[in-house]
């Protein structure tokens, strides 16, 4: 023992002296083998492998007696491995070759495996681990083995095998237990099992809080799981030590995403100290300053990023654009947004930038640039979340440039139109109609103005549309139709304040032109009373003039004369002409002649000149002064009067000639009528007079005339059936259906071979239909179809199909609709036909026919009616609902929500709630029901059903109290006995559930 102590002291002295002498000098180590061995052993135990390696090499190279050569070779290799010597692997191989049975073989393999791991050679490392006999390792190595191998798998991202190795360490007293648990938490993090990762860390928190990597890992888990509140709550419990840069970044992110930007800035800046530059963090810093409205600082961080081409550069460009926009640096904002839009790293951000840029062009009034930009955008980004915003801006730009037709054509192509677009649609249709009206294209104006009424979002535009429709009809001479719209306007009362005077004026004229002189008289009086009697009020005097005309028609000549004199200065020719007629009626021919002479001598340029000349000639004719009458008729004819007056002049002069027995001259005038005006009303009288005059001269002469004008009777007959039918149509449009039926009965008898019979049948059918005599109507609709006139066939077919549907004869209705589909009807009729197929086939549960017709409606560019598109989506949703394809059904019900004012929208909203209920999304179902009640309070059927479904949702959510309150409300307020009965049954079950609680 004493000898051992002496030797140990000697070794220590030697080591100490050698240390002092600095072994860095490459001088050979000279000592006894035993001393070299002992010294190498001490250094190895002290983990001074670099120095130890020299002693082991010296020992092995010593020529003296080497009793522990195997041990020395082992420790020499251990030192080489620890020193990461490049030939360490070769040394291990040689050792195993020379000492294959050494107890150190597996230990060296284990150490070599760890050597490979440090070098990153994971495949070689794992291969070597599989050759190790674990039981031959030292106790310490056996303890570390599963942990080290687990680390290798962890580095290789083989989470399953890594986890398996770490879970082998189950004893909490194991030196690697807590580090292994830490690795398990890391694996859970990588597998996005954040709750499991946190639970693992919390379970060992008392033992690992002093480990820096545990702190970083906890922060990273909270960050990855976006549980930023817990991340910040965790910080105060940490030791009072400085955070690493990575931790500063994680904490900064937590504050950033919680919108606590000032705190975020502090941590981000700490992360970027000491020359660190991270573009992503710089972008976040820029945004934080932007959010705090510290724009100068924000731009400081954004500007260096703008020269790059990555996601951060796009963010910097976009928010720089927002800053420039806010600070009114418009051109800089446009440039920034254009840069952000060109970079597609974040598609949504690029879309937003495009729209913001177009918005600035819009503000600047560069509408053509907006149209070009948004036109391109809507074509290239059909799936963008911001497509509707782009569409709206494009439509607004068309509107501002008065490109109404282009805007309307564009809207017609849109498969979906939200409320904003529909509001613009109303405005565009109205102004396009007004534009057409001002251009004199009244038919075109009516088409657009009527379409605008389908979208009654803005009440003022509805009122104006009614007014201009009335004006357009009046301009076309369709006074009965104009009267309808003027009357509707007058019923609006104060809502029509802007157009009240003009409406009253138009209404009076409509009454006047439709022959309702009593109503015209009253209305002209009302209008005249509104306006002051002053020089500029020309419409006031015009109203008085027409009021005088009404008195004239009413034979109140005294009042008529009085009014005519008041307005003489404003229309002297009309006044004198009407006064002449009155004086003539009253037998005062002198006064009548004076009035007519004034017109002839003083108002020749007016339309009343010819009338006055004609009337003066007629007065001479009526007085029997035929020569004078002939002179005056002839004088007027020589001046080539208006074409409409010439037949009257000729027939009157011919009669005057006859009365003077000047038959040749009379014949000449009758022939002139027959040849120049063969379709005029006087033609028949002229032909009869000519026949009588020629008969006096002999049958031969009469035969000559009859042969020459033999075509006229047929022409007159043909024309007479048209005239007769036109008169019947006027009765029809005046809703005098009983008279229509009487007149048509006469028509069939009078014109049994008329080509207009199909149209007469249709009028007969429509009259019976409107009188609710459906059986008789059906008979004549079928006669129309038998006539095979295409346009009338389609109209009658649509009506027949509709009647069959209303009578619940769905198969017959479907048959008619399917026949019509093959007849190539007009766009509108085709739309009605397909919608008929949809409804009929749906009732008959012919789902394929329903689906096909719906898709045809949605894919047909000629179908522009939003209500039709809405119903197509509604029925698609219904079919998918029947097929249990609830997600598809939900999608279509959502599209059928617009426009809001229709019954289909209410039904779609209810079915949307029902579908989400079926999908067990009970809160979503409730939200849809709340929206239904708010938007469609007048649709009682759906409201009752909505409350019942609302109760069902509350029951599924176990909110029985609210379910009972809802059912009580139904029972107390509903007027539907069936609904009340259902509610009572449900309430009984709910009450039982509440008692059970």
Over the chain (997 residues), the average pLDDT of each successive run of 10 is 33 37 46 78 82 80 71 83 86 87 88 90 91 91 92 93 92 89 90 88 72 82 90 82 86 94 94 87 95 95 92 95 94 94 92 94 93 93 90 94 93 82 91 93 92 84 91 91 88 69 90 90 88 64 89 90 90 90 90 90 87 89 89 87 85 90 87 81 75 62 55 52 80 82 81 83 88 88 80 84 89 88 77 89 87 80 76 90 86 82 84 90 88 76 84 88 87 86 89 79
With 0-12 CB in 10 A as exposed, 13-18 as middle and 19+ as buried, what is 34?
A: middle
Tokens of 72: 């020395």
Question: Could you tell me if 288 and 268 are in contact, meaning their C-beta atoms sit under 8 angstroms apart?
Answer: yes
pLDDT of residue 670: 84
Give the integer Cα–Cα distance in Å for 531 and 632.
Answer: 43
Give the integer Cα–Cα distance in Å for 488 and 468.
Answer: 12
Question: Could you tell me if 360 and 334 are in contact, meaning their C-beta atoms sit under 8 angstroms apart?
Answer: yes
Question: Could you tell me if 96 and 105 are in contact, meaning their C-beta atoms sit under 8 angstroms apart?
Answer: yes
Give the integer Cα–Cα distance in Å for 322 and 326.
Answer: 6
Nearest CA among 913, 908, 937 for reference residue 926: 913
Give the integer Cα–Cα distance in Å for 175 and 144.
Answer: 8
Q: What share of the chain is helix, strand, coil (3-state, %, to 5)?
A: 75, 0, 25
Do 404-496 and 887-996 come out as alike in CATH topology? Answer: yes
Tokens of 344: 């597609």
C-alpha distance from residue 584 to each of 351, 448, 522, 567 (Å): 80, 48, 27, 21
Question: Could you tell me if 69 and 61 are in contact, meaning their C-beta atoms sit under 8 angstroms apart?
Answer: no
Give the integer Cα–Cα distance in Å for 431 and 425.
Answer: 10
Nearest CA among 196, 157, 150, 138 for reference residue 177: 150
| Concatenated DSSP letters of 405-464 | HHHHHHHHH-S---HHHHHHHHHHHHHHHHHHHHTT-HHHHHHHHHHHTT---SHHHHHH
Query: What DSSP designation does 823 have?
Result: T
Q: Which residue matches tokens 């937590």? A: 254
With 0-12 CB in 10 A as exposed, 13-18 as middle and 19+ as buried, what is 841?
A: buried
Tokens of 9: 């002291």
The CA radius of gyration of the chain, in Å to the nearest whole number, is 51
Give the integer Cα–Cα distance in Å for 858 and 124.
Answer: 64
pLDDT of residue 569: 87
pLDDT of residue 737: 84
Tokens of 798: 């649509």
Question: Could you tell me if 95 and 108 are in contact, meaning their C-beta atoms sit under 8 angstroms apart?
Answer: yes
Give the integer Cα–Cα distance in Å for 750 and 433.
Answer: 43
In CATH, the architecture of 887-996 is Alpha Horseshoe (1.25)
| Domain regions of the chain by residue span | 404-496, 887-996
Give the integer Cα–Cα distance in Å for 793 and 807.
Answer: 21
Q: Which residue matches tokens 């004012």? A: 901
pLDDT of residue 709: 58
What SS3 state is found at 209?
coil
Contacts of 815 (CB under 8 A, 6+ apart): none
Nearest CA among 226, 228, 227, 231 for reference residue 215: 231
Neighbours of 188 (CB within 10 A): 21
Neighbours of 557 (CB within 10 A): 19
Give the integer Cα–Cα distance in Å for 113 and 111.
Answer: 5
Largest CA distance in the chain: 182
Give the integer Cα–Cα distance in Å for 451 and 404.
Answer: 14
pLDDT of residue 788: 75
pLDDT of residue 695: 62
pLDDT of residue 811: 92
Q: Is the peptide bond before 261 cis (omega within 30 degrees of 0)?
A: no
Dihedral angle computed from the Cα positions of residues 413, 415, 421 and 426, in that order, rounded to the nearest 10 degrees:
60
Reported as type and span, the H/E element at residue 142 is helix 139-155
Q: Which residue matches tokens 């399953």? A: 160
Give the integer Cα–Cα distance in Å for 774 and 173.
Answer: 97
Question: Could you tell me if 952 and 917 are in contact, meaning their C-beta atoms sit under 8 angstroms apart?
Answer: yes
pLDDT of residue 402: 93
Instruction: Tell how far CA 538 is from the center of its chain.
Output: 49
Contacts of 593 (CB under 8 A, 6+ apart): 580, 616, 619
CATH class, range 404-496: mainly alpha
Long-range contacts of residues 178-186, Cβ cutoff 8 Å, at least 24 apart: 178/204, 178/207, 178/208, 178/211, 179/147, 180/146, 180/147, 180/150, 181/208, 182/208, 182/211, 182/213, 182/214, 182/217, 183/150, 183/151, 183/154, 185/217, 185/221, 186/154, 186/217
pLDDT of residue 9: 34
Give the integer Cα–Cα distance in Å for 970 and 951.
Answer: 10
pLDDT of residue 703: 52
pLDDT of residue 720: 65
What SS3 state is found at 993?
helix
pLDDT of residue 5: 32
């Amino acid at each position: 023992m004493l000898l051992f102590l002496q030797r140990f002291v000697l070794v220590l002295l030697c080591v100490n002296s050698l240390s002092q002498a600095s072994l860095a000098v490459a001088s050979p180590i000279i000592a006894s083998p035993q001393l070299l061995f002992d010294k190498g052993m001490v250094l190895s135990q002290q983990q001074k492998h670099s120095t130890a390696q020299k002693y082991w090499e010296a020992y092995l190279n010593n020529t003296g007696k080497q009793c522990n050569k195997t041990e020395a070779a082992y420790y020499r290799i251990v030192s080489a491995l620890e020193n990461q010597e490049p030939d360490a692997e070769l040394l291990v191989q040689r050792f195993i070759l020379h000492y294959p049975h050494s107890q150190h073989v597996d230990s060296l393999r284990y150490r070599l495996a760890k050597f490979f791991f440090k070098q990153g050679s994971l495949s070689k490392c794992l291969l070597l681990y599989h050759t190790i006999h674990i039981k031959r390792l030292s106790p310490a190595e056996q303890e570390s083995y599963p942990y080290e191998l687990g680390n290798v798998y962890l580095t290789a991202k083989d989470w399953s095998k890594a986890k398996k190795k770490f879970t082998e360490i189950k004893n909490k007293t194991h030196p690697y237990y807590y580090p292994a648990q830490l690795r398990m938490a890391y694996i859970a993090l990588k597998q996005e099992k954040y709750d499991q990762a946190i639970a693992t860390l919390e379970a060992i928190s008392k033992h690992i809080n002093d480990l820096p990597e545990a702190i970083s890992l906890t922060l990273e888990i909270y960050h990855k799981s976006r549980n930023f509140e817990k991340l910040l709550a965790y910080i105060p419990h940490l030791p009072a030590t400085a955070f690493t840069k990575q931790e500063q970044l994680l904490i900064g992110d937590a504050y950033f995403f919680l919108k606590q930007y000032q705190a975020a800035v502090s941590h981000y800046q700490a992360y970027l100290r000491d020359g660190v530059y991270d573009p992503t963090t710089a972008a976040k810093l820029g945004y934080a300053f932007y959010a705090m409205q510290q724009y100068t600082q924000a731009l400081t961080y954004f500007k260096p990023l703008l020269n790059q081409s990555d996601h951060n550069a796009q963010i910097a460009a976009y928010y720089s654009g927002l800053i420039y926009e806010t600070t009114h640096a418009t051109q800089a904002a446009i440039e920034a947004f254009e840069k952000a839009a060109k970079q597609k790293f974040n598609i949504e951000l690029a879309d937003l930038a495009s729209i913001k840029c177009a918005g600035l062009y819009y503000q600047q009034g560069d509408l053509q640039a907006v149209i070009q930009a948004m036109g391109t955008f809507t074509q290239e980004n059909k799936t963008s979340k911001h497509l509707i915003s782009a569409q709206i801006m494009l439509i607004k730009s068309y509107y501002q440039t008065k490109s109404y037709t282009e805007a309307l054509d564009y809207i017609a192509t849109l498969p979906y139109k939200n409320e904003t677009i529909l509001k613009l649609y109303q405005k565009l249709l109205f102004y396009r109609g007004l534009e057409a009206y001002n251009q004199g294209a009244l038919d075109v104006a009516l088409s657009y103005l009527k379409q605008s009424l389908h979208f009654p979002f803005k009440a003022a535009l509805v009122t104006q549309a009614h007014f201009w429709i009335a004006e357009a009809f009046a301009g076309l001479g369709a006074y009965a139709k104009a009267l309808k719209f003027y009357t509707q306007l007058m019923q609006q009362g104060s809502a029509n304040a802007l157009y009240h005077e003009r409406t009253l004026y138009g209404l009076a004229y409509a009454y006047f032109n439709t022959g309702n002189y009593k109503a015209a008289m009253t209305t002209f009086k009302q209008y005249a009373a509104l306006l002051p009697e002053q020089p500029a009020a020309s419409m006031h005097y015009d109203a008085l003039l027409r009021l005088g005309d009404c008195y004239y028609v009413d034979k109140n000549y005294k009042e008529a004369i009085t009014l005519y004199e008041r307005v003489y200065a404003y229309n002297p020719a009309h006044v004198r002409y009407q006064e002449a007629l009155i004086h003539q009626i009253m037998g005062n021919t002198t006064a009548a002649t004076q009035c007519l002479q004034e017109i002839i001598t003083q108002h020749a340029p007016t339309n009343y000149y010819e009338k006055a000349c004609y009337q003066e000639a007629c007065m001479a004719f009526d007085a029997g002064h035929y020569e004078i009458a002939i002179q005056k008729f002839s004088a007027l004819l020589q001046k080539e009067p208006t074409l409409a007056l010439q037949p009257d002049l000729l027939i009157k002069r011919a009669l005057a000639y006859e009365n003077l027995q000047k038959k040749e001259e009379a014949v000449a005038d009758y022939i002139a009528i027959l040849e120049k005006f063969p379709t005029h009303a006087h033609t028949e009288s002229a032909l009869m007079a000519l026949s009588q005059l020629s008969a006096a001269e002999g049958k031969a002469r009469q035969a000559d005339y009859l042969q020459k004008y033999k075509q006229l009777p047929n022409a007159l007959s043909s024309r007479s059936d048209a005239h007769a039918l036109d008169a019947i149509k006027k009765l029809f449009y005046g809703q005098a259906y009983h008279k229509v039926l009487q007149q048509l009965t006469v028509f069939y008898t009078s014109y049994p071979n008329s080509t207009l019979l199909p149209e007469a049948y249709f009028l007969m059918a429509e009259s019976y239909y409107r009188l609710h005599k459906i059986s008789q109507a059906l008979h004549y609709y079928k006669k129309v179809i038998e006539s095979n006139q295409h346009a009338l066939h389609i109209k009658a077919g649509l009506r027949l199909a509709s009647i069959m549907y209303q009578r619940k004869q769905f198969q017959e209705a479907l048959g008619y609709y399917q026949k019509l589909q093959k007849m190539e009807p007009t766009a509108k009729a085709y739309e009605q036909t397909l919608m008929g197929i949809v409804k009929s086939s749906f009732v008959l549960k012919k789902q394929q026919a329903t689906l096909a017709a719906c898709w045809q409606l949605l894919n047909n560019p000629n179908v522009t009616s939003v209500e039709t598109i809405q119903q197509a989506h509604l029925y698609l949703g219904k079919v998918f609902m029947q097929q249990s394809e609830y997600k598809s059904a939900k999608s279509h019900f959502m599209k059928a929500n617009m426009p809001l004012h229709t019954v289909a929208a209410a039904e779609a909203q209810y079915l949307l709630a029902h579908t989400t209920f079926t999908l067990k999304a009970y809160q979503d179902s409730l939200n849809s029901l709340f929206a239904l009640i708010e938007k469609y309070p007048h649709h009682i059927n759906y409201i009752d059903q909505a409350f019942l479904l609302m109760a069902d949702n509350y029951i599924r959510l176990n909110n029985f109290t609210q379910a009972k309150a809802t059912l009580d409300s139904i029972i107390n307020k509903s007027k539907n006995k069936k609904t009340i009965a259902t509610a009572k049954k449900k309430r009984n079950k709910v009450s039982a559930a509440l008692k059970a609680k």
